[in-house]
Amino acid sequence: MKKYTSYLLTVLRILVGWHFLYEGITKLMDPGWTSKFYLLGSKWIFADLFHWMASSPNVLNVVDFLNVWGLILIGLSLFIGLFVRWSSVCGAVLLFFYFVAYPPIFGHTVGVVAEGNYQWVDKNLIELFILVVFAVLPTGFLYGIDRWLRQWREEKPDAPIPASGPEGRFSNKRREFLLNMISVPFLGAFAYVIYKKNRWDSLEKKFLAGQPDAVSSATLKSFQFTSLEDLKGTIPKGKIGEFELSRLIMGGNLIGGWAHARDLIYVDKLIKMYHNDEKVMLTLQLAEQCGINAIISNPAQCRIVSKYRQETGGKMQFISDCGVGNNFIEGIEVSIEGGAHALYSHGGKSDIRVYQNDPSFFDELVEGLELIRSYGKPAGIGAHRIETIKACVERGIKPDFWVKTLHTNDYWSAEVDLERKDVPEPGWKDNNFCLKPQEAIDFMSNLEEPWIAFKTLAAGAIRPEKGFKYAFDNGADFICVGMYDFQIVEDVNIVLDTLANISRSRPWRG
């Protein structure tokens, strides 16, 4: 090999050692660090083993200790070039476990924070093979303490003096010694980095210790929200026919970017930027872990729900509002093709056609319900206006379930707009989705079909504690609620508390 090959490989060994050492010391400096959640997130072939490790406090303590000190000792060994062969073997084994815990394989990367895009090959696998190379290289090939010790052992007192004389021999030994100590400048740089990190961490603690509020400090480093450890239980389920459904259903508006944010025109774009595919799938995973088994949304969301089920093995069911195409029938066909599990007529479109006295709507509605049932799916009717529900009942149209808005009108922006004429009916505004809540409650109480209440929080205008209780107490069998990931556990807990203290007169339907 070329002479500079040893230099390049030595620098490569030091860089890998830096990575290991820094990872270990960073974990050591963080008193709250644990591998528990990393282990719990594993989904591949050794997932059961990793989950068992995370579930046992004693085993977890051992795993955490081995992780921290394994990284530190392996990193230090590679850094200074001492016992490189053994540390390379140990480091390769450690990286192998990291790799199989979160393999960069299609369907196993959801929720993994990565600085790039990987498929089969990631930095863990690359570093693993680098360490394999170090493990098989001759001991004296790389500069470091191993090479210096080998030369010291092999040197004989009676060895012939080189032709260059004692002075030349001393010069060569000094040069060799300096080369073998090549890691010292890197070690100094590393110590400086750790010093700066410690000062930065101390600075953060100083400023965070005051517990700043959201008004005075809009740039908080972290946002704490209720975690799975705070979950009080899982959501109970009911049935629509043979279709099992959690009492709390996810609403798809936020995921799809329909915020109903009234005059805050930037919000739709903001939540679309927040809800990329990975964030959506993580949100669905969290919802399933809390017992939520369905999401209601537009057929446009069939893609992401199907992707979620295929890539994660999740069981989240999709209830489509069939709100695409020129009519209900077209919406059904698109939804069925997209894998919808239950379907209903879009509330807004149904309201408009009933309000306009469209005579063809009811024939189309009956045809659509029959078509949905022909696919073996539950068929429903959606509405914001109670007049739409009444019109269907008067004509003897019986769906498998109703999807009807329900919320109070005692929030500050619930005023109506009687001047606008370009809306489904006078008074409608994108701030009030149930204009006649008591009339809706009274009428829905006599219906035998299950009722999914939506817009129970009036698109974020009503607090969940109030909105959920109002809906369940007044007859809703299921509620559909749009939730960000950081709201899911809290919302589930609120629903559990509400159901434990229910006060309703309408019997449960489903």
Report the alpha-carbon distance of residue 429 to residue 84 in Å, rounded: 71
As a whole number of Å, the end-to-end CA separation of the chain is 76
Q: What confidence tens digit (pLDDT) does each residue in 254-295 have?
A: 888 888 887 788 888 888 888 888 889 889 989 999 999 999
pTM over 0.75: no
CB 84 within 8 A of CB 143: no
CB 290 within 8 A of CB 488: yes
Indicate the burial class of 381 (C-beta count within 10 angstroms; 0-12, 13-18, 19 or more): buried
Residue ranges of domains in the chain: 4-204, 228-500
Report the alpha-carbon distance of residue 390 to residue 443 in Å, rounded: 8
Q: Looking at the domain 228-500, which fold is it?
A: TIM Barrel (3.20.20)
What pLDDT score was predicted for residue 478?
Answer: 98
Q: What confidence tens digit (pLDDT) does each residue in 407-416 have?
A: 999 988 887 6
Report the alpha-carbon distance of residue 347 to residue 403 in Å, rounded: 8
Q: What radius of gyration do the chain's Cα atoms show? A: 32
CB 9 within 8 A of CB 142: yes
CB 297 within 8 A of CB 280: no
CB-CB neighbours of 506 under 10 Å = 17
What pLDDT score was predicted for residue 122?
Answer: 85
Report the alpha-carbon distance of residue 425 to residue 434 in Å, rounded: 12
Report the alpha-carbon distance of residue 83 to residue 102 in Å, rounded: 29
Query: Which residue numbers in the chain have pLDDT < 70?
Result: 1-3, 106-117, 155-177, 180, 197-226, 416-429
Q: Look at residue 459 and give its three-state secondary structure.
A: coil
List strand residue ranges (DSSP E) for 159-259, in order: 237-240, 243-246, 248-251
Q: Parallel, antiparallel, or unpaired for β 243-246 and 237-240? A: antiparallel
What pLDDT score was predicted for residue 342?
Answer: 97
Supply 490's token pair.
């809290």
Q: How many CA atoms lie within 13 A of 23 on its CB side?
A: 21
